[in-house]
């Protein structure tokens, strides 16, 4: 089986076995608060970009921007850490103009 297939299967299994989603609160520049649910399954549109290095879709970039405040939570979770810290994930974040977090 190809490496990408294995990575995809591990990602799907990890998201299915993940703990209850975490809530995050984001304060926009206008002072309004937006609640975000840190649920890694919502990033499924990014699997191809993160696993193969392909350019991310518009949907993927939108979801990454929504989940920007959740990235540290994903990095600290052993199920997702290797995906979020991979070179392809950094490349995907850069392509979507999402800053890589300093946790």
Q: Is the pLDDT of residue 92 over 80?
A: yes
pTM for this prediction: 0.68
The C-alpha torsion from 45 through 58 and 88 to 94, rounded to 10°, is -140
User: What's the pLDDT at 23?
Assistant: 46
Set out the domains of the chain in order of their start, with CATH numbers.
3-95 (1.10.110.10)
Question: CA-to-CA distance for 69 and 22, rounded, in angstroms?
Answer: 11
43-82 tens-digit pLDDT: 999 999 999 999 999 999 999 999 999 999 999 999 889 8
């Amino acid at each position: 089986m190809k490496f990408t297939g294995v990575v995809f299967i591990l990602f799907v299994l990890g998201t299915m076995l993940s703990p209850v989603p975490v809530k995050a609160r984001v304060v926009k520049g206008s002072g309004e608060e937006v609640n975000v649910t840190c649920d890694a399954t919502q990033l499924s549109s990014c699997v191809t970009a993160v696993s193969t290095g392909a350019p991310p879709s518009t949907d993927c970039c939108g979801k990454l921007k929504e989940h920007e405040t959740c990235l540290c939570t994903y990095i600290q979770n052993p199920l997702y850490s290797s995906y979020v810290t991979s070179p392809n994930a950094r490349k995907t974040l850069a392509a979507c103009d999402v800053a890589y977090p300093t946790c």
